[in-house]
Structure 1
Amino acid sequence: MESNSSLARRFWVALEPLHAVVYFAPEPAAAAKDVGLRGWWMGYFAGRAAPLGPIGPAPVTSMFFGFAPGMVARALPDAWKFASPQDVLRTRVEAVEAVLARVLPEAGLAELTGLLERAVAGCRFDGRPLAAAWAAVPRPPRLLARLWLATCVLREHRGDGHVLASVAAGLSGLEAGLTHIATGATTRELLQRARGWTDDEWEESRSRLLGRGLLDGSGRLTETGAAVRHEVEATTDRLAAAPLEALGTADAERVIELATTLSRVVVDTGVVPVPNPMGLPRP
């Protein structure tokens, strides 16, 4: 019998490209610009944090975890001078809806959306502020917007759990990124540019991981480092189990089947690139 951890990992891989269109498709970036935001990264931070209200950089740096504080501070709170959180949220959801309408076939959308909303209903949000904020967003009236919002809540639910797991393992956001690179899932070139860390900050974190015996001199995981990384991922999967339990194994497998077909479309049409800074594979 398959473990919940393995099922949780396959569930994430199948769903994440459907959520990730918000980061890579042109429509959300254009919508952020049209609503008044200045630059792609301001749109990213304001868009992802919009359900939290006109929030400042310190809590967003904490919740988003892997980003350099200075990178967040260049976007927030200035974003709210140009657009309200309500307008940012509304235009973001509308833009993602347009992306999905452009690329996805209709088959299976209603069934998948219903299953995902059941999964969301099974989530608990203790210690998960970002997921809780997105879960409080009113359900949109249209199917594709509902589909994306459900994937967003589930993604941030898992992401909040991943932050908890990483912190419990004694890793900072940058250190977690370095160990992620060491697994081969992504590269320094992709991740450093996307997260805003300087070379000095990168080397300081690498030195700390060397001192803890988690990385070797070539940047690879040591045996101890591999064990820590495995525990982080296993804990992340374990903390993501609630929506799977709400669905039951058969319906969770049905979600994976339906979402994999749709996610392959968004990858194969180039909407979500692989490789990417998230280390997300093609399902």
Structure 2
Amino acid sequence: MHLANTFPRTSMDLNAVREVSLTINAAHLFVYFIPEAPEQAAELGVTEYAPAYFAFRSAPMGAVPWQVTLAAFYSFSPRSVQAMAGVWEAATPQQWQAARFTAAGRALQRVGVDLTADQIAEARSLIDPVVASADYAGKTMAAANASVPLPSDPLVALWQQITVLREWRGDAHVTVLAANGLGPCDCNVLQTATGHFPEAIARATRLWDDEEVAAATTRLAARGWLDTDGTATDAGIAAREQIEAETDARCATLWTPIGDANVRRLTSLIMPIHDAFTAAGTYPFRVETGDTQPTDAETAG
């Protein structure tokens, strides 16, 4: 039975839940593509992208071993996450978190995000109650980010609250993937086959090898979700959408404290963050937002 059929019902409009989830992901995503991030990492003595990425994103959890990061991130191969060995010797998690905030702040200023002080305050008045009342049981990455003290810069603080909820949906999505029998490599293969993540980026960042991808393709083909050549079938496309729908259902109660109208208002308030980074040519691929089909919570993060 799909989880969406058993998860507690709410009165939330799932279309509004989907739209705000996509917009939150889009507003968070720039941190993985901006030049300011590797510049700040270099100041901490780390000049390669992969270890810096894992350090920046893992920092809220503390100085965890790479195996914990692997478990929390889910979609990465062990060989990719092992790249973070030594990052806590280069700098403490607190230093990595501060550097991430600095990078985000510099980038937000560089691209000229068009949010007034009043709009930032309004967005905070909507997002803060959601963060404060969220159920963090089983939400490792969201709970870790919620524990991080907010920076003094109002726009960066808003971005961190966005990050908490982006990771909350990601944690929920991982639960749905596992419940539907989609392992870490399998979900990558299905995601790329259905056109939601460029295969070249998936291969370069997740580092699943040809043998592992072939095995995942065989498993998905046995379920009727892929053809043997790796092309997604209609059943595979429908299955992936069902997984997204199940994730939406799990996220619906998250937004209950502010209701549909305020969810849509928050969506419109934070969209300029994504718009500014898109206009600045930040992304090597199209980032899906609320007016398009769903994107996986783990598209780049």
Question: Taking structure 1 as the reference length, what is the TM-score of the superposition?
Answer: 0.91
Paired with 2:12 and 2:193, the residues of 1 have a C-alpha distance of 25
Paired with 1:72 and 1:99, the residues of 2 have a C-alpha distance of 26
8 Å Cα contact 1:4-1:237 kept in structure 2? no
Tell me: higher relative CO, structure 1 or 2? Use CA pairs within 8 A at least 6 residues apart.
2
8 Å Cα contact 2:50-2:84 kept in structure 1? yes
Greater CA drift, 151-160 or 92-101: 92-101
Shift of 1:223: 4.3
Gaps of 5+ in 2: 1-10, 291-301
Deviations 1:112-131 (CA, angstroms, capped at 9, x unpaired): 23322222123111111111
Paired with 2:15 and 2:261, the residues of 1 have a C-alpha distance of 14
1:179 correspondence with 2:190: yes
Greater CA drift, 101-110 or 52-61: 101-110
**Equivalent runs, 1:5-16 vs 2, <5 Å:** 5-16=14-25
**Equivalent runs, 1:109-188 vs 2, <5 Å:** 109-188=120-199
8 Å Cα contact 2:114-2:272 kept in structure 1? no
Shift of 1:13: 1.9
Paired with 1:106 and 1:8, the residues of 2 have a C-alpha distance of 23
1:240 correspondence with 2:240: no
The residue matched to 2:75 in structure 1 has which SS? coil
Deviations 1:130-150 (CA, angstroms, capped at 9, x unpaired): 110000111222201211110
1:194 correspondence with 2:202: no
8 Å Cα contact 1:57-1:73 kept in structure 2? yes
AA in 1 matched with 2:68? P
Paired with 1:230 and 1:281, the residues of 2 have a C-alpha distance of 14
Of 44, 49, 54, the match for 2:63: 54
**Equivalent runs, 1:13-162 vs 2, <5 Å:** 13-76=22-85, 78-103=86-111, 104-107=113-116, 108-162=119-173
AA in 2 matched with 1:30? E
Paired with 1:75 and 1:148, the residues of 2 have a C-alpha distance of 24
Partner of 2:294: none
Distance 1:146 1:79, change over 3 A: same
The list of structure 1 runs, each at least 4 consecutive aligned residues, that deviate by more than 6 angstroms after superposition, is: none
Distance 1:178 1:4, change over 3 A: farther
AA in 2 matched with 1:7? A
Distance 1:254 1:262, change over 3 A: same
Paired with 2:234 and 2:23, the residues of 1 have a C-alpha distance of 29
Distance 1:192 1:68, change over 3 A: same
Partner of 2:226: 215
AA in 2 matched with 1:203? A
8 Å Cα contact 1:29-1:43 kept in structure 2? yes
1:281 correspondence with 2:288: yes
AA in 1 matched with 2:244? E
Paired with 2:110 and 2:256, the residues of 1 have a C-alpha distance of 33
Deviations 1:133-188 (CA, angstroms, capped at 9, x unpaired): 00011122220121111011000000001100000000111111111122222232
Greater CA drift, 210-219 or 251-260: 210-219
Distance 1:149 1:11, change over 3 A: same
Deviations 1:204-246 (CA, angstroms, capped at 9, x unpaired): 1111211232211232333443343222111111122233212
Paired with 1:266 and 1:118, the residues of 2 have a C-alpha distance of 27
Question: Taking structure 2 as the reference length, what is the TM-score of the superposition?
Answer: 0.86
Partner of 2:299: none
8 Å Cα contact 1:101-1:144 kept in structure 2? no
AA in 2 matched with 1:168? A
Taking every aligned residue pair, what percent have the same amino acid on both sides? 31
AA in 2 matched with 1:247? I
